[in-house]
Structure 1
Amino acid sequence: MADVTGERSRAQLLLVGALALAVIFLSLSLLLNSVIYTENLATRQTHADVEKAETFRASVVDGLGGAVEYANRRNVTGFADRRDAYRAATDDWIPTLANYSATDGLAGDVDRAGVQQGTRIVDANASTGIVDRNGDGDWTMATDSSVRRFRLNVTLSSVDSPDDTTITIDDGTAQDVVVEDDGSGPQVRVVGRGTCELTRGHVDIGAGRVDGDYCPPLADARPTGTVDVSVSNGDGIDATYSFVVDRHSEGFRTAVDTANFPGQCTPPSPPTYATTVGDDPYTTPAIYAATARIGVATQDLDYRRTVRAAPDEAGEPATGPTFTTFNVTQSGNDFDVGWQTSDPNADVDSVDLRVTYVTNGTVYADSSGLSPNGSASFKDVPSGLAYYVNGTVTDGTSDRRVSEIHDTGACPP
């Protein structure tokens, strides 16, 4: 009988122990579930905050880009006017965005950081083609430039099968964009990549779109980095066009003129581009890009970024230096050169000057390692000859070049 009682006692102890363990496991399970729920809730809250911050960032970039394009389209010719218009537009828009973000539980702020000067090129004459001021359809549109917002509006009735207009974008590897009629109607053909039908005449090379629709062949040909842009048979169609480059007007115009008029003394008459609005094609100083510092704060997130807006810029942001001015003053057999430079990263390394003979390219004189802003003189240059006066500005990674032609009695050569 004693054995039976002992067995019952042991059984009772085992049952009590099992119940105790069950209570412990249940408690641990509830505690663990509570922790997991809390962490999941915190994670969901953090992810939601990050998504809101990213939406805020995207809204700021879109708003800056809209203000840049608004300023660039205004009928003004000075960069200060563009900058003031940009500031006025963002003055109205930034408080509205900040107030709107507050309704979404965010404390958002936007602090303008600056704008990068460039040049806008426009031809608004729809009765002519992609031509220079002389009406020439074979010419260089841009040299050694980052190009964005490159748009054409083509008159469809002017596109016919015998005449193909080709725009060549060259970053070291040339890519041809052809506007043509292959017999089935107008189209945009990217050589080696494919075609897209052209039904309304809108070609957005910068965004890779035709008639507003994404065109994969054209998207693959968008200008990235610094490129040269030229056109062949530009007078074969009627079209308007515009684009923005990251070079200052003076250096850009000088470089393009030298490319188009290699044997003509500076300034060519007429130059490639006019400076008067409406005298197509023409250039005006423009905003190439804008930057701002943004901040977004919630209970669980502190998000701060520097953002940049350069509408329809393909590839990496433009960071190369440029000449803001490059002037060569000739007095008899003396050349006095003055220059100023600019760089988005404010890290201009040096300027090099070189004088070469137009006839054979032989170097007459050069001077390297000069300051980013300065002047130099070349005295007693031999008479009766024509010379290229070349300038190169570098930041150690990339460089830009300009060139003017001057003579001592033998121009054109």
Structure 2
Amino acid sequence: MADVRHRLRGSRGDRDREGGGGDRRDRGQLILVTGLAVAVTLVALVLLLNTVIYTQNLATRGAEVEDDAAVSFRQEAIAGVGEVVDAENRAEYQTRAKVEANVTAGIERYDSVASRYRAERSTIAQVDTGTLSLTEGRILRQTNASRNFTSAGGANGWTLVEDAGSGTAPGVRRFRLTVNRDELSQTKSDAFTVVADGSSREWRARIYNPSGGATVAVAVKNGSEGTADTVCSVTAASATVDLTSGRLGGERCPALDWAKGVAAPYDVRFERADDATGTYEVTVDTSAAGTAVQTGNFAGPGAGQSPRWAPAVYAAEFEIHFETPNVAFHTTVRAAPGEPR
């Protein structure tokens, strides 16, 4: 006879099996919680890493911006001091001591304004006037726009300066003439001409009104060339020819390259000066022993007539200082506006 036994509910075996299922559920929950914790930790690490990278990028970008600001200040200082120099030169003081004193005072005022502006932005930016060195010069000008370009004595062909420049130094800067179109020669061969005459070669710029039309044209002969070729023109009743910056009517004229092919020192002279009327200005470096402005061809300092000469500052050299918490920039610069490069 078979032995049939019924297992009672709630027996120990059932309880053991039920207990084993609970352990598995606990382990699953533990794994899930641990996984979530690891995920949160990884997210936090990624966020922290991104923050560090972003901060480094900001710091690098900030340094680059401050480097750019230092370079910008250098350019501003050169331009600002150059404007002071030219403004004081055009005041036409009668003595060198007076023009140099006024240039120095003007640069000090410029430094005061510029440094105060930068200080408001937690930056030290200084034009060090204690290091200022001025190069002596003379300014030659004609301001009577209805007068032709002859000398004070009426000479048609005449010399402005002898032995300008030395080596690679051009000796003249900011050489600008504003001419009246209708008073110019209509042919290139008879045109008013500016000459840079070296020991063996000469450079020429002829300014004329082709065939009596509506344009002002410039023809240039470089030191190594035999003839003058027209290099630029502008349609205007009057036009400014910037010989040392290579511009006509404010536009670049690359072929108008001052004294190209002529080694300094050289003489600067006008030819056919009665074939042009208008104004002009040039600043000459007279620091070299051999350079000589031909003062006899001009009225003197303080004179009201044209053309005339006056003591001037040719160039200013000085140190600049630019400092922020991250950048320290110190250098020596030179301001000589309109000097050929």
Shorter-normalised TM range: 0.7 to 0.9
Inter-partner Cα distance in structure 2 for 1:309 and 1:209: 20
Q: Is the 8 A contact 1:118 1:249 kept in 2?
A: no
**Deviation of the 1:248 alpha carbon:** 4.1
Measured in 2, the distance between the counterparts of 1:20 and 1:170 equals: 87
Structure 2 match to 1:120:
139
Distance (Å, rounded) in 2 between the aligned partners of 1:151 and 1:73: 14
Is 2:255 the counterpart of 1:215?
Answer: no
Which TM-score applies when normalising by structure 2?
0.73
Q: Secondary structure at the match of 1:101?
A: helix
Which one of the candidate residues 66, 74, 82 is aligned to 1:65?
Answer: 82
Higher relative contact order (Cα pairs below 8 Å, separated by 6+ residues): 2
The answer as to 2:130 corresponding to 1:137 is: no
- Would you say 1:178 and 2:206 are equivalent positions? yes
Mapped partners of 2:265, 2:177: distance in 1: 18
Residue 167 (structure 1) aligned with residue 194 (structure 2): yes
The Cα of 1:288 is off from its aligned counterpart by 0.4
Decide whether aligned partners of structure 1 residues 199 and 40 sit closer, same or farther in structure 2, where only a CA change above 3 A counts: farther
CA distance in 2, matches of 1:280, 1:122: 7
How many angstroms apart in 2 are the aligned matches of 1:175 and 1:15?
89
- Alignment equivalent of 2:279, drawn from 204, 217, 240: 240
Give the aligned partner of residue 46 of structure 1: 63
Report percent identity of matched pairs: 28
Q: Structure 2: which amino acid aligns with 1:44?
A: R
| Preserved contact between residue 181 and residue 209 of structure 2 (Cα < 8 Å) | no
Q: Distance in 2 between matches of 1:249 and 1:280?
A: 26
Distance 1:130 1:227 in 2: 23
Secondary structure at the counterpart of residue 318 of structure 2: strand
Distance 2:301 2:118 in 1: 43
**Equivalences for 1:179-194 in 2 at 5 Å?**
179-183=207-211, 184-191=213-220, 192=229, 194=231
Give the corresponding residue for 2:173: 148
Query: Hey, which bits of structure 1, 4+ residues long, moved more than 6 A?
Result: 14-25
**Conserved 8 A contact 2:150-2:158:** yes
How big is the shift at 1:40?
Answer: 0.6
Report SS of the residue matched to 2:291: helix
Say whether the 8 Å CA contact 1:118–1:288 is kept in structure 2: yes
Judged with a 3 Å threshold, the aligned counterparts in structure 2 of structure 1 residues 227 and 18 are, in CA distance, closer, same or farther, namely farther
1:285-327 Cα shifts (integer Å, max 9, x gaps): 2100112221111111111122221111121xxxxxxxxxxxx
Aligned length: 297
Do the aligned partners of residues 180 and 303 (structure 1) sit closer, same or farther apart at CA in structure 2, a change above 3 Å counting?
Answer: same
- Relative to structure 1, the CA distance from residue 223 to residue 104 in structure 2 (aligned partners, 3 Å threshold; closer, same or farther) is farther
Report the Cα offset of residue 37 of structure 1.
1.2
Secondary structure of the 1:201 match is strand
In terms of fraction of residues, the more helix-rich structure is 2
Which is richer in strand?
Answer: 1
Decide whether the 8 Å contact of 1:137 with 1:234 is kept in 2: yes
1:42 deviation in Å? 0.4
Return 5+ residue gaps in structure 2 as ranges.
1-30, 166-170, 221-228
Q: C-alpha deviations, 1:48-70, integer Å up to 9, x for none?
A: 21222223222222221111012
- SS class of match (1:131): coil
Moved more, 48-57 or 224-233: 224-233
Report SS of the residue matched to 2:297.
coil
Distance 1:223 1:19, change over 3 A: farther
Q: Find the residue that maps to 1:299 and give its secondary structure.
A: coil
Pairs within 5 Å for 1:25-104:
29-104=46-121
Look at both structures and tell me which one has the larger radius of gyration over its CA atoms: 2
Structure 2 contact 135–287 (Cα < 8 Å) conserved:
no
The 1:77–1:251 alpha-carbon spacing in structure 2 relative to 1, beyond 3 Å, is farther
Distance 1:123 1:277, change over 3 A: farther
Match of 1:196 in 2: 233
SS at match of 1:72: helix
- In 2 relative to 1, CA 231–155 (structure 1 residues): closer, same or farther, beyond 3 Å? same
Distance 2:279 2:174 in 1: 13
Task: Tell me which residue corresponds to 1:271.
Answer: 296
* Counterparts in 2 of 1:231 and 1:21: CA distance versus 1, 3 Å: farther
